[in-house]
Amino acid sequence: MSQWKWYVYIIECLDGTFYTGMTWKPELRYDQHLSGLGGKYTSIHGVKSLVYYEEHFDYQEARSREKQIKGWSQKKKKSILIDNFKM
Domain range 6-84, CATH architecture: 3-Layer(aba) Sandwich (3.40)
Residue 4 binned pLDDT confidence (cut-offs 50, 70, 90): confident
Contact indicator for 69, 22 with CB cutoff of 8 Å: no
Three-class SS state of 3: coil
54: left (phi over 0), alpha (psi -120 to 50) or beta: beta
Q: What is the pLDDT of residues 6-61, one digit of tens each?
A: 999 999 999 999 999 999 999 999 999 999 999 899 999 999 999 999 999 999 99
Residues 6+ apart with CB under 8 A from 80: 52, 72
Length of the chain: 87
Residue 86 pLDDT exceeds 70: no
The pTM for the full model equals: 0.88
> In sequence order, which ranges of 1-87 are alpha helices (DSSP H)?
26-35, 40-45, 59-70, 74-84
Q: What confidence tier does 85 reach under pLDDT thresholds 50, 70, 90? A: low
